[in-house]
């Protein structure tokens, strides 16, 4: 039996206000059912969501060192590898509109090093920062790339060290995003570019999936961003958005597909776990049901994700910002460029 919701957080980590909507219970994540109860409180002021209670470092350590975060490879690896490489190249082309190689690029939360390797192929001198020792070892072994094992603030980079800093699906994992973004500003050169991507809690797929939304991934995700909340966070630290949109080739369409499958009652994030070979002892029948459902839902999910992203309601928010540049007037819709 579920316990009553805990007392709300003292303040929103994005806008520091303490006005929250009624919370909703989350009892599963990318690995399946959770052993603990967590709640999401949505801030009435900026729209960000907050995971509560805040998990301890010990609990988080267990989640980061197991399940899908630990797994490597999986079914359809070569096809997925090709798709992800295309997505990385697309990210780099978008960055190059503001800052082209050669130059120094720092990737935060660099994982197993895929994006770093792609950046090197595109002419960047690239290095990473990653807190997971398992991921650091994998990146070094597979790509031979420099990766600092630990937190960005512990790396002690010199001021204005980098032309570009990237953070793909990192900010949602941080209990104190303010301090982290302040450090990003410090290590970027004046006029340098910051690019980041986070799940969009104001998206249609989040509203569809609710507590089973694919991108929720509690308790690993501590802060859940809406477009205005993310823009506010980076702007107050001198990183001024030049582009802000909600279409991600890498994770947007799949997030919609998996959220749709979750909503119709299939095992929560079951397709994703099957692809990662983390689905436990599924029968052939259960695997077949999930695969067939995914085949039938794939095209509608893709079209729906593209359509919702055009009005700023896609599943992922991407911001490309410039350090200490003049703030460029944003368009009426987040789905389009802020550039003139």
- Among 147, 81, 145, smallest CA distance to 108 is for 147
- Strands (E) in the chain, as ranges, are 24-29, 32-42, 49-52, 104-108, 125-130, 147-149, 162-168, 188-199, 223-224, 239-245, 316-323
Task: Give the contacts of 192 (CB within 8 A, at least 6 positions apart).
Answer: 99, 160, 162, 163, 164, 165, 322, 323
In a domain, 76, yes or no: yes
Task: Give residue 340's pLDDT.
Answer: 28
CATH of the domain at 211: 3.40.50.150
Buried b (16+ CB within 10 A) or exposed e, 169-208: bbbbbbeebeebbebbbbbbbeebbbbbbbbbbbbbbbeb
In a domain, 152, yes or no: yes
Buried b (16+ CB within 10 A) or exposed e, 279-315: beeeeeebeebbeebbeebeeebeebbeebbeebbbb
Give the residues across from 43 on adjacent strands: 20
In a domain, 24, yes or no: no
Cβ atoms of 70 and 134 within 8 Å: the answer is yes
In a domain, 334, yes or no: no
pTM attached to this predicted model: 0.91
Task: Give residue 36's pLDDT.
Answer: 87
Task: Give the contacts of 58 (CB within 8 A, at least 6 positions apart).
Answer: none
In a domain, 308, yes or no: no
Distance CA 100, CA 123 (A): 9
Please report which helix (H) or strand (E) contains residue 83, including its range.
Answer: helix 77-96
In a domain, 209, yes or no: yes
Distance CA 61, CA 100 (A): 37
Cis? peptide before 177, omega within 30° of 0: no
Residue-level pLDDT, tens digit, the chain, 340 residues = 456 777 888 999 999 999 999 899 998 898 888 888 899 999 999 999 999 999 998 888 888 888 888 776 677 667 778 888 999 999 999 999 999 999 999 999 999 999 999 999 999 999 999 998 888 998 999 999 999 999 999 999 999 999 999 999 999 999 899 999 999 999 999 999 999 999 999 999 999 999 999 999 999 999 999 999 999 999 999 999 999 999 888 889 999 999 999 999 999 999 999 988 887 678 889 999 999 999 999 999 999 999 999 999 999 999 999 998 544 433 333 333 443 2
Q: Which domain holds residue 205?
A: 70-242+319-323
Tell me how many domains the chain contains: 1
Give Cα separations from 179 to 42, 152, 236 (angstroms): 21, 10, 12
In a domain, 237, yes or no: yes
Cβ atoms of 207 and 296 within 8 Å: the answer is no
Count other C-beta atoms under 10 Å from residue 39's C-beta.
Answer: 22
Length, in residues, of the chain: 340
């Amino acid at each position: 039996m579920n316990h009553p919701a805990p007392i709300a957080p003292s303040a929103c980590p994005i806008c520091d206000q303490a006005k929250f909507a009624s919370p909703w219970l989350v009892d599963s994540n990318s690995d399946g059912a959770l052993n603990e109860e967590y709640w999401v409180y949505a801030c009435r002021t900026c729209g960000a969501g907050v995971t509560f209670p805040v998990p301890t470092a010990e609990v988080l350590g267990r989640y980061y060192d197991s399940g899908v975060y630990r797994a490597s490879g999986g079914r359809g690896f070569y096809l997925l590898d090709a798709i992800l490489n295309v997505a990385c190249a697309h990210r780099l082309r978008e960055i190059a509109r503001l800052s082209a190689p050669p130059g120094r690029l720092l990737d935060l939360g660099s994982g197993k090093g895929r994006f770093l390797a792609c950046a090197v192929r595109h002419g960047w001198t690239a290095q990473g920062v990653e807190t997971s020792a398992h991921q650091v070892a994998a990146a070094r072994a597979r790509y031979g790339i420099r990766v600092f094992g630990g937190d960005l603030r512990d790396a002690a980079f010199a001021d204005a060290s980098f032309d570009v800093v990237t953070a793909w699906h990192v900010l949602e994992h941080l209990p104190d995003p303010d301090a982290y973004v302040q450090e990003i500003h410090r290590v970027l050169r004046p006029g340098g570019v910051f690019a980041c991507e986070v799940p969009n809690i104001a998206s249609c797929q989040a509203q569809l999936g609710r507590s089973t939304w694919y991108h929720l991934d509690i308790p690993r995700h501590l802060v859940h961003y809406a477009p205005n909340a993310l823009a506010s966070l980076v702007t107050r630290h001198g990183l001024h958005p030049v582009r802000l949109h909600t279409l991600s080739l890498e994770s947007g369409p799949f997030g919609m597909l998996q959220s749709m499958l979750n909503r119709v009652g299939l095992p929560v994030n079951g397709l994703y776990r099957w692809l990662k070979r983390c689905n436990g002892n599924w029968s052939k029948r259960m695997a077949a049901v999930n695969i067939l459902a995914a085949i039938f839902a794939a095209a509608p999910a893709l079209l729906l994700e593209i359509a919702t992203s055009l009005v700023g309601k896609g599943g992922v928010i991407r911001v490309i910002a410039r350090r200490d540049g003049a703030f460029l007037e944003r368009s009426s819709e987040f789905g389009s460029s802020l550039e003139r």
